[in-house]
Structure 1
Amino acid sequence: MHTTEQKLKERIKELTCLYEVTSLIVNCDYDNVKTALKGIVQCLKQAWQFDSDTYVVLKTGEYIIKTAKKENTYVFLESPITIFNKAQGSIKVGYPVPKYTLQDFLKEEQQLLDNICLEVGNLLERKEIKENEVRVRRQVEQSDRLRILGEITAGIAHELNTPMANILGFTELLKDRVKNDAQAVKDLDKIINNTIFSREVVKKLMFFACEMPQEKETVNIVPIIEDAIDLMRTTLRQNGVACKLITSKKSVPLRIDRIQLTQVLFNLIVNAVYFSPEESTILVEVYEETNKVVLKIADEGCGISPKKAPHIFEPFYTTKPIGEGSGLGLSVVHGIVQSHHGKISCTQNTPTGTIFTIEFPKE
């Protein structure tokens, strides 16, 4: 039985805990929520009746925070942490067994724990809302930049097409005139090769700027993938890399532009070949889910660092040495996938390498 003085002392501890927790939440930096949660756990420990023996555990999907544990077995009071009406964690406050039982907890302590869990849930909700706002704002900014860049690059591509065609045509004519001069022919071949490379960059600009007409039709994409891999066999052989297609079905129907799908496959497989070591294997996997078709391309290369991963789909961003990449390949892929209302992402392969995953919705 508690005396009036003991009860008053416990109420003061509970009110102090509520005040300190509220202060921690109000002044919380959403980029450093873990620090606030650590402070909340310490406040809870001090608020309990037998604080020297109290053990507190806070668990959510992202955080696990505990106070020092003195014994192996505890009896707990527990309350859920609810985020957007879903239980996504809990806080447990315990006393060691057999020294204490559930009867040693106060009714007010359960009420205090419920209130603290409610406040923590609200904090994590606000953190998630802020992160979503930042993510949406970045997506909008990126879309605006891509739209403006698309308009600019479309104009540049149109302007470059004619002079490059002239360069190729006149260089071929000049080769016929100087065919007895080996050095001149060699130099002219360099001009032709570099012009062809530039023309390919212009094609990528056109794809990126969505200037290429799109012709969607429902087709079985398995033969398209097989043909794309077959066309890459020479490149694969020259680099000592194998490519294997994995599919559980011979027919995977999808409404898509077959030329653009081939463009996506070429870009991703060429990238995979470039970064793959000799005698490694590139895996191309395609399968159906309820509302989508999933295409995965996995290599065994060096992988993409977490620092570079957020930028790989940006135009003109490349991890290849200068002169070996235009930085448009993955931007083109990203643009094509988005124009089909799909999603593309990259993750680390195990033990090494990168996996590109594309999800096309079924229409």
Structure 2
Amino acid sequence: MSQTNFKLKQSTRQLEQSNAHLKAANIRLAQAQSQLLQAERLASIGLLSAGVAHEINNPIGFVNANLGTLKTYVGHFLELIAAYEAAEHFVGNTPIKWNSITVLKNRMDWPYMKDDVLPLLDESQEGLDRVKRIVRALNDFARTDAADVWQPEDIHQGIESTLSVFWSQIKHRCELRKEYGELPAVTCVLSKLNQVFLNLLQNAAQSIEGQGVITIRTGCQSDEVWVEVADNGQGIVPTDLPHIFDPFFTTKPVGKGAGLGLAVSYGIVQQHHGRIEVKSEPGRGATFRVWLPVSPPTARS
């Protein structure tokens, strides 16, 4: 009996040790997955930086030009005000001061300047608003300052934020079509889903040679919503389809991708208790559809 108890205690101790090792391995795996996701997100932000800089530089350029013109206008306005102030002392006595004001107004093209000043201010304000929207979209896309908080989110807002920071890079060679349905708020970590949307859009753009079309569709079915990204690019050969979500699998040339985008996207969608469906034929493009539960179990718990 004592021998049996000893063996039982020994087996229990070994089981506890194995369980401890397994927990430690799971923690290391979770940390590795988190680091992989962060690395992919930072790589995406780095890829987007050139396009975002271009989008910000455009409005800043014309705001800067407008401010230069406005500075000249303000100088003329102050000059004209000074002339009027000087003429006030001679009202009714000498017309020569009024003549000098007329000459001054003609020299500075007063009617044009008067009509142009408010549109310049409006255009400058519009440019600054555009910069603010781009910065807000980049912040909404990345949300690097926020923890992974599960909360009801507008999926369309996530898509639009992603488009705001990405589309400028390919808008000259790709036409964008949107076919949005009505979606309920989805409980999710939107910054992670934005990463999925970005990866799918990047893949679609990279599969298109020359000019092409990318279509984004959304819809709702039962207690799930779906987001679809379709392109009319090269498509995926049947032998590659089973491997496209494997880490480091890529058909791109060396230096064009590490093969992590779709693998990371697959992991994010799984975290949301969703799934990704793929349809593709060589030469006829590809369609990726992401299904997401409106209220995933992780969020409910």
TM-score (norm 1): 0.41
Q: Which has the higher helix share?
A: 2
Q: Which has the higher strand share?
A: 1
Task: Answer 1 or 2: higher relative contact order, Cα 8 Å, separation at least 6.
Answer: 2
TM-score (norm 2): 0.49
